[in-house]
Every structure is written in C-alpha cells, then in structure tokens.
Chain A
Amino acid sequence: MSDLRHRAASLSPGLVPTAVLSILPVALVVAIAMFAQLWLAPAMANAGADFFIKMAVDIAVAMVLAISLTMVNGFTGQFSIGHAAFMAVGAYTSACIVYYGSYRFFGNANVQGGLVSSMVYGVRDVPWFAWADALFLGALLAGGLVAAGCGYLVGLPSLRLKGDYLAIVTLGFGEIVRVLVQSQTTEVLAEGASVTPDHLRMIPAWGSTLAVDDYITAEAIASAPVWVWPKYVGGALGFGGLPFYTSPFWVVLAAGLTLLVAFRIKNSSYGRAFLSIREDEIASEAMGVNVTSYKVRAFVVAAFFAGIAGGLFAHTVGVQLNPAELGFQKSFDIIIMVVLGGLGSISGAAIAAVIVTILPELLRTPDLLAASWPYGLGGAVLGLCVMAGLRATGRATTFGRALLFAGVLVAALGLLAMWAKGAEVDLGRYRMVFFALALIAMMILRPQGLLGVGEIWDRSFWLDLFARRSKGGAS
C-alpha cells in the first residue's frame, strides 16, 4: 500500500511545474486579450470595421454562454432550459454594482476605466487599469457568484427530478426571475427617459435609515453606508444608462478563461464523473459517483459563467438591459448553439456560437451574401471533385458531401440574395424564417450536431470524415 503511494507521489509533477502549467494558459489568455484590445480592435476600428468589433463582442459573450451551458447539457446530460435566468441574475447584480457603485465612488455613471475597458482607441494618456475597472471586474465576479448561488438552488431539485421534469423546473425558475424583475417599479421612468441623477432622486431605497420619504439623492448614495443601495432596476422598461465597460479585452478574457476552465473540467476526474452521468446515471451511481452532488456542481459552475456573461452583456455598447430579452427565448438561443455544435463538444459550442450570432446578421446585410455565390459554386464543384476522389480510393464520401452541401447552400443563398435585390424584397425580414428552417433541417439531417461529442481536433472527427467505406451491412 505504501509502495503504491510512493509510486503515485513520484508520478505527480512537482510544485513548480504544476504552478507553471496552471498559470501559463491563463497568462496566455490575458496576453491574447491585451493583444485584441490594444492592437486588433484599434486596427479594425481604423479600417472602419466597427460593426465587426461589435459582432466580435456579441460572439464572445455568446461563446461564454454556450460553453457554460455545455457543462450542464453537454457534459452532464441534464437538460436546462432556463440558462438565460442565470445570465439575468448576473446581469442585474453587476449592473447594480457598477451603476450605483459608480455613483457612490465617482459621483456619476460614466465610464472611467483605463485602457483595458476603453473603446476610444488610440488614447494613451490613461492608466492601464483604473479603479473603475476593478469595480467592473468585481461586479462581474459578484454577478457570477450570485448566479452560481441560484445555480445551486436550481440544481438541488435534481435530487428528486430527472430529465424533462428538471428541465421544466429550470424553465419555471427562468420565468420567475424574468417576472420578478419585470414586476419591479418603473415609476421613475414614467416619462420614458433613461435614468439621470434627477431621476435618481426618486428612487426608493432598501434601507430606510437615510431616506427622506423613502427617496434618496445621488449625493445620498455617495455618502450612504455600504449596505444601503437603491433598489431601482428599471422593471419592465429596462435598466437604462449603464456605463459601457464591455471592451474587447474583457470579452476575450472571459471567453478564453471559460474555454480554459471547460477543457480543464472535461479532462479532469470531475469531467469524467459528469460524462459518466450523461452516459448512464444508474451505472455511474453504482460506480460510486455521487450523482446529485455532481449535477449540482455542474449547475453551479455553469451558472457562474452564465452570470459573468450576463454582466458582460449588461455593459455592452448599445444594450439596454431588459428582462424581456432574457426570457426563455434567450435560453433557447443558447440551447440551439449547444445542440448545433454537438452535445458535449466545447469547440463545437464555440463554433456554433459564432454561426448562430453571425447568420441572422448576415441575412440582414444581403450585399455580402449576394457577392458570395461564386465562392459557394466553387465550393460545390470542389466538393464534387473530392467526392469523386474519395469514391475512387474506396473511402466514404462524407467530407466531399459536406463540402458540396455547404457550397450549394452558400451559392443558393447568394443567388437568392441577388434575386431579392433585383426584386426589391427585403431579405432581412425573412432571416428568422431561414434560420428556423436551417435549424429543423440540421436536426433532421445531422442530429448529432456539427462535431458530435468530440472536439474539432479529435482524430475521430476527421477520421469519420475520411473513413473507409464500410463493406457489407455491418456497421
């Protein structure tokens, strides 16, 4: 026994290599995020591609959401259809902290961040990292933690409920969160304006110690004890006037760290326990996996990252935080990403997040689409050639078929866009129709999603594409 222990100890790497191995990827992610913020985004902005910066931010937030849901739906095989609720919890928590914290510490709710959260590129006379950035970071983490607490609460019923019933509980939780936020007071915004210090004067506070007639002023927030916060969050009209802190740095950082954590979890003993629950709950219980505990942990981790994504979403340029946007249709969007990428595939979820975010936008700007039909045609021809080649060498033609399919699709959409331009049909109005049709077709034609359960660099995925044709009926 002690012999075994010695051998195990000799197998584990030392403290220093472990520390390096743990810190290196994080440092890499921070470096990439700085690169994106200080070089890539200014270059894109100079080239007039502000729209693409906006898209990239949306994509990164969607990625965090999709990857976090992958941990519940993909790894653990539980079915959560209320993921947007965690996002909403994180969004509102961090929005309150940033908004009222800004009033408390800086006297107004403008962005006072350093270079890392600056979206005015080329300005160099600000510090790298200001106190406001620390406030934002703290708010994000707080949002994540509160969401994780909610994740714990939602995960608990998994002790008793399985499958669809658990799904319904998550749905119910999501709607309760939305309705709770929506039923908050909207009184200060009766004029339809966004919150200004003038409005703030009418905001009812949670602590009545400093309030005069239950209303407080902007100055009062600044001088109030820390535990007294206004409780106005905008209700059904949305929480307006939030400072826009979500810069390329923060989203790349969040997406990178989420990816990192997801891969680490998937390849750890935790991840193997998750996967075993997905494959067979009863068998994994028999093998000594504490099923309920792991399910709850999956919910907690996923909710944490969803909360951070919510915080990022709340402070994105042009977003007015509104509970109606964070209902179960948002949850469905995230589920679509996860299933489209392949249940359990992290890289698949990330790729699907890109596709699902870009596709409707692409249909909204038909010029780009109309110009792409020759490429589609070329792809289709290439696909035909590859198919012929694969067939000649006795391999399955999957890869060629995929190329052909993608090429025909792009060409058809491009020709459609050209026709629409000529006939003056607004294709943008049909974008959700196309999206829905694509979703249905995808589920029927490739039910396992883009990548199945594997990752894009898994050999099995590529082998599957170039596999030898199976002889006879045996599969």
Chain B
Amino acid sequence: MLEKFLQTLMDGLAVGSLYALIALGYTMVYGILKFINFAHSDIFVLGAWLSYSMAIMAGLSMQSPVPVAPWVFGVLAALSVVAAAMQVWDRAGYDRVPAAWRGRLPSPGLGTTLTIVSLWGWSSVGLAFAARAIATGAAESSVWRTVAGGVILLAAMSTCGLIGFCVERTAYKPLRKAPRLNVLITAIGVSLLLQNLGQLDWMFGTRPQGMPRLLPDVTLAQFAGSETVPPVKLHLIDVVGAGTAVLLMVALDILVFRTKLGRAMRAVSYNDRNAALMGIPVDKVISFTFVLGAALAAAAGFLYAQKYPGLGQAASATWVLLGLKAFIAAVVGGIGNIRGAMLGGLLIGSAEMFARAYQSPSVADIYVFGILILVLLFKPTGILGTNAQEKV
C-alpha cells in the first residue's frame, strides 16, 4: 500500500514539476498583460517536436540522420538580408527622407530587432549543429548522448524563445490597447496557426513519432516492496526532469525577485503606466516575459518528450489537454503569482497521478477540473493569489 502511495507521489511530483514549468509561462503573461495566452501550450508542443527533430538531425536515433530542412536556412538568410537592409535604413536612410513621408515608412529600431532575431536564429541552428557534432564525435556513449541532449534542450529553448518573441511582436503588440477578448481571439488564432503549421509535411507532418532516448533508462534507487508488491522505483529521467524543472524555477525566482530586470517585470505587472513613467521600457519587458515563458515551456516540452517518448501529432487533443492542465495549475496556484504556479503544478500533477493510480485514467481529468472549479468557487484568486478589489 505504502509502495503504491510513494510511487504515485513520485510520479505526481515528476509530472507536476513539468506542469509547473508550463504554468509559469501562463502566469507570467497573465500577470503582466492580464490575458490568457492560449498559444502557450502550442509553444510547449513545439518544444517537444523541435527537440525531436533536432535529435533526429543530430543522428541520435536509430534512423539515419536527416539534414536540416533547407527552408530554415532560406528563412534565416532572407531575414539576415532584410535585417542588414533595415540597419542601413535606420542609420543612413531615415533622416534623409522628407518628414511627411516618415510616418508611412518603417521607423528606426526595426533593424536592431531584426538583427537580434536573425542572430538568435543562427545561434539556435548553431546549437543544433553542436549537438550533431557531439553526437557524431561520441557515438553510442551514453554520457555524450546526455550532453548532446543538454545542448538540444538549450537549442529548443532558444528557438522557442525566438518564436515567442516573434509571436508577441507581430500578433500581440499591436493589440496592447484593444479589448481583452480580442487579444484572446488572437491568441486562439496563433494557437491554430502553430498547430496547423506544425502538421504540414515540411514541418513535422501528421504522423506520431517516437522521441529517441537521450538519457539512459536506469533506475537510480529501489526500495520497499516485497514478492507481491512491486518496489518503489526512482527513475533517472524523473530525477533529471524534476531537477531541471526545479533548477529553472529557482533561476526564474532569482531573476524575478532578485534582479533589476525582475523588478521591472514586477513593476509592469503591478501598473504598466506608472512603470513606463518611471523609465521602464515596458515593451521590452513584455517581450522578455514572453521569451522567458516560451523558453520554459520548451524545456518542459523536451523533458516531457524524454519521459513519454511517444509524440502525438502537433494538433493532437492530448497536447491541448496537457496545456490546459498546466493552465489550471496556474489558476489553482493563483494566476499572476509565480510561486503559486509552481505550487499549483505540483498539486495538479499529484492529483492527476493519484486519480489515475487509485481510480482510472479516464476519470483523472474530472478530478483536475473539479479541483479547478472548487478552488475558483471558494478562493477565486487561487491558493497564493492576492485579492485585487475592483474600484469604480
């Protein structure tokens, strides 16, 4: 009995820490922009699929290595050319055109943004190539496989951060002043876009795939148990997954509560107008928040793909449900509250695993949603949320 309990608890914490990682992205965006970023779960899916394709590309699976899709280079090259042209425009062209025309032409500053984006893209590809070099340099060595996995994790985080940045700049930024419902519809649009782009043949296709294992499948410890009861097993992947998640969360916590940038983020979430008056670059802080959330979601995607190697197709309902549970974790912990998201993730993960183990997998989701509704009815701001009184 105790064995089952401990095993379930451990599974719950392992899955819960992944939920927490995704929930952080939801909660940070909600804290700052007060809208539910429904496209966040798709960034998570993208993280899982990107790490899959990078692992294939690096030759880490049984399949023969696949070269990088040429369109990636095409897009990056085109982007670099445009960025260079915009840099020239920013530095030399803008001041020379008549003032009346300036309003209709791209304003300076776009060049820097595009340069950052293209450099970022190249470095992500570079990381993917580093993973490939490591993998080919030390084939069949589990240590080097793990190192390559770490590089892939970084590359996936970087790429998803870039995509989060681009999504925020193109889709959400023009809507800063729009009603919240519109931003929400846009988020749904972005979510649909990412799902359906991901299903195209030149992206990930519509077939489910198996993620190659980058960590050796070993059991670290094994205790209790008897002849009739299976022992409690501590898998390496759970430890590494939860460890990475905790590490990232601690890093995030330090970033938000101990650094100047974090203070700016908190200031913007508290009151963006006053923050702007105090000289905080609000747009940059918001973009940074999206990058951070997307990178964490990508890490969760990578770790999830390591724990459950069967990747469903990009628009599969299971992915959507996972994202939804992470969102519930954010709400239960108190949306807008970073520590609450971590707590909520662990809570929801454990609740789900206990319902799975002690009742049946099909009803586990009912418990998760039931917890959500109970929390909302009795403490709508979540466990750690503070109550903001609405004033006239």
Q: Which residues of A contact B (CB under 8 A)?
A: 73, 79, 157, 160-162, 164-165, 167-169, 171-173, 175-176, 179-180, 182-183, 236, 282, 324, 327-329, 332, 335-336, 339, 343, 429-430, 432-433, 435-437, 439-440, 443-444, 447
Contact = CB atoms under 8 A, between A and B. Distances in A.
Contacts of B324: 171, 175, 328
Interface in B137-188: 171, 174-175, 178-183, 185-186, 188
Contacts of A182: 362
Contacts of B369: 172-173, 175-176, 179
Contact of A176 (B190, B317, B320, B370): B370
The majority secondary structure among interface residues of chain B is helix
B84 to A, nearest CB: 27
A336 B188 contact: yes
A161 B193 contact: no
Given A79-B181, A437-B189, A443-B182, 18 more contacts: A157-B373, A162-B390, A164-B34, A165-B380, A167-B36, A168-B376, A169-B376, A179-B362, A179-B363, A182-B362, A183-B366, A236-B362, A282-B390, A327-B317, A436-B190, A439-B188, A440-B186, A443-B178
B377 interface: yes
Nearest to B324: A175
A304 B365 CA distance: 26
A328 to B, nearest CB: 8
B256 interface: no
Contact of B185 (A160, A179, A432, A439): A439
Contacts of B62: none
Contact of B192 (A164, A176, A432): A432
Contacts of A179: 362-363, 365-366, 369
Nearest to A178: B365
B377 A157 contact: yes
Contact of A429 (B34, B200, B335, B376): B200
B154 to A, nearest CB: 29
A444 B200 contact: no
Contacts of B186: 439-440, 443-444
The majority secondary structure among interface residues of chain A is helix
B377 A172 contact: no
Given A162-B390, A432-B192, A439-B189, A169 B373 contact: yes
B236 interface: no
Contacts of B317: 324, 327
A172 B181 contact: no
Nearest to B362: A183
B392 interface: yes
A177 to B, nearest CB: 10
B297 to A, nearest CB: 19
B190 A440 contact: yes
Given A324-B317, A433-B197, A444-B174, A168 B188 contact: no
